[in-house]
Amino acid sequence: MGEKFISERNLRFLLYEVFDAVSLTRYPYYADHSREMFDMVLETAMRIGKDMLYPTLGEMDKNPPELAGDHVKVHPVVRTFMRECGEGGWISAIAPMERGGQQLPSIVNFVPNGIFAAANYSASVYLLLTSEASHLIESFGSDELKETFIPRMFSGEWQGTMALTEPQAGSSLADIATVAEPTDEGYYRMRGQKIFISGSDHDGVDNVVNLMLARIKGAPAGVRGISLFVVPKKRVGENGELVFNDINVTGLYHKLGYRGCPINQLSMGEADDCRGYLVGEPHKGLAYMFQMMNAARLAIGLGAAAIASAAYYASLEYSQVRLQGRRMTEKDPATPQIPIIEHADVKRMLLFQRSVVEGSLSLIAQCYQYSDLAIVSEGDEKERYSLLLDLLTPVAKSYPSEMSILSVSQGLQILGGYGYCDEFPLEQYYRDTRIHPIHEGTTGIHGTTLLGRNVTMKDGRALQLFLEEVQKTIGAAEALDELKPSAQKLRDALEKLQGVTAHLLDIAKEGNREVFLADATLYLELFGIITIAWQWLLQAVPVQKALRNTDGLSETDVAFYHGKMYTFRYFFGYELPKADGLIRRLMETDGLTVEMKAAYFSD
């Protein structure tokens, strides 16, 4: 088996042919970078993925973390990988140079993160959490917090986490109850419970730095009373020594998949000696945490697409060597059997996977591009990119998360009975990817965010900007004869999306907020399909241009572009029409689920 888990060619295609990442180097902030470097980043990440992460994919699943006395024991590769991420500068990749980072554009950092997640999702999470948590301290923490924690996190010695969820406060963060009591010493005394905290205790690092939401004693109820704290597992003592900070691991959850990374239950302050350090100002914690949550949401979308990518390549390879059946037209049973990839239905399943994987990767790259452009631009332009990023974040998180499950399922289907058994990695991918619609905001939460907040924010300007972006792509596609019919299809779909949005907002205006948001998840699904169709049309433009003159192209490149065109056509032919059913349902808006009484679920 070749053990391919992601396409380098496709990553290069997105970076250079669709999003022109090199053009970012024109801005002073990114001027120290070049294409040559981006290539080396890709190649190095591929090596780490292939040599270090992929070989332990199955092992980490079969030997999940366990509670060993007072700490959690994880696979030894976690320590090796975190050290490499520290020494290699992968944790600090996008941080500014003045803070010891590499100032890498996010759209380039997307490459190693995607590669690591495709090679071994569980392992990749240790890196992501640490990178994002350190970024949060850097953005809002005091100099003292920065100096104490960031260098050890950048070096991979200390793990970062985001500690939000509590037994009574999951999706409902407003109900967080962990208490922070002020002291005269400048720190707060923490008391409470957290659950489902990824990476919050393990022996792959020397310390864990929890970025924790809690309420300062006496703070107002609801989200306006939530503050952000740094609560390390071990605090730094007076002489620089590490002192136990009274956080106990009270449980370790046994998960369906994504088993290489522990999610723990934490108890703070059992001996009344758990110290927390306030980040930024009191009561603004949730707003700060949203920075990390939004970054994490894109990373989750990327993780979901990456697992689907690994499943796609595993099933592709199997379909090329597995001999079963003959062509429909072959009547002679004595002829040899053919590889199953020759069957149209298997090709359909492969095209579906590829359309989900490459469509999702493209959308996530697009979001990272907006994020980079927001950093280097000013005024109106900066706001434009920030709004686009904000609007699309729930889509870039949810479409890949939901579709990855279906995509991996089709990969598993291609392997038939073998797909259901653990000799092949498909069953693991299927379990691993199931987490994505759950963590970092469930799909339901994101539906409500998109419809209930994002499409109307700044008087609907974010949505307007999005429509303009899609129109721009439609315009570019219409200039190419081969893409005209698809451009028209997207234009129609976009108009219908506007119609549905206006219809739903009318219901909101009538004051029926519950009915307005009842099918927000379906609205998000519809928005997702149309957004991914946009990304496919965006990819089809350079593909079509390249195919116009194939003289200088290698055979593999020509095959790559033809494959892209078919996958693009597949999406417009098979996936985009699914929007129609959703539109029909959303226009009905009869409040069925609102009216249905809990009591009627008596059977």
Partner 1 sequence: MNIVACVKQVPDTEALIKVKADGSGIEEGGIKWVMNPYDEYGVEEALKLKEKNGGEVTIVSMGPARAMETIRTALAMGAEKGIHITIDKADEYNTAAALAAAIKGINPDIIFCGQRAIDDDSGQVGSILAELLGLPVVTLVTKLEIADGKAKAVKPIEGAQLLIESQMPCVITAQKGLNEPRYASLPGIMKAKKKPVDVKDAAALGITVQPKAKIVKMTPPPERAPGKIIGGDDPAAKAAELAKLLREEAKVI
Q: Which is nearer to partner 1, 372 or 402 (CB)?
A: 372
Please enumerate in sequence order all residues whose Cβ is within 8 A of that of 564, keeping only pairs 6 or more positions apart, or say none. 13, 358, 539, 540, 543
| Nearer to partner 1 (CB atom), residue 511 or residue 552 | 552
Distance (Å, rounded) from C-alpha 346 to C-alpha 412? Answer: 11
Q: How far is the CB of 120 from partner 1 (least distance, A)?
A: 16
**Cα distance between residue 265 and residue 231, in whole Å:** 15
Looking from the CA of 257 toward its CB, the CA atoms found within 13 Å total 22
Question: How far is residue 2 from each of residues 21, 54, 183, 425, measured CA to CA in Å?
Answer: 29, 12, 59, 13
231 contacts 247 by C-beta, under 8 angstroms:
yes
Binding residues for partner 1, rule: CB under 8 A, are 2, 8, 32-34, 36-37, 39-41, 43-44, 47-48, 84, 87-90, 92-93, 102, 104, 554-557
CA dihedral 592, 436, 560, 483 (to 10 degrees): 30
The least CB distance from residue 7 to partner 1, in Å, is 12
- Least distance from partner 1 to the Cβ atom of residue 112, Å: 9
d(CA 101, CA 153): 12
Q: For this structure, is 8 an active site residue?
A: no
Q: Give the nearer residue to partner 1 in terms of CB position, either 87 or 595.
A: 87
- CB 221 to partner 1: min, Å: 45
Write phi, then psi, for 539 (nearest 5 degrees). Answer: -70, -35
Nearer to partner 1 (CB atom), residue 118 or residue 356: 118
Provide the β-strand partners of residue 158: 207
What are the backbone angles phi and psi of residue 158, rounded to the nearest 5°? -115, 135
Q: Which residue, 87 or 588, has its beta carbon nearer to partner 1?
A: 87
Cα(170)–Cα(176) distance, rounded to whole angstroms? 9
Q: Which helix (H) or strand (E) holds 22?
A: none
CB of 200 to partner 1, least distance (A): 27
Q: How far is the CB of 163 from partner 1 (least distance, A)?
A: 28
Tokens of 442: 């469930």
Which of 358, 402, 440, 525 is flagged as catalytic?
A: 440
Of 108 and 296, nearer to partner 1 (C-beta) is 108
Q: Which active-site residues does the annotation give?
A: 440
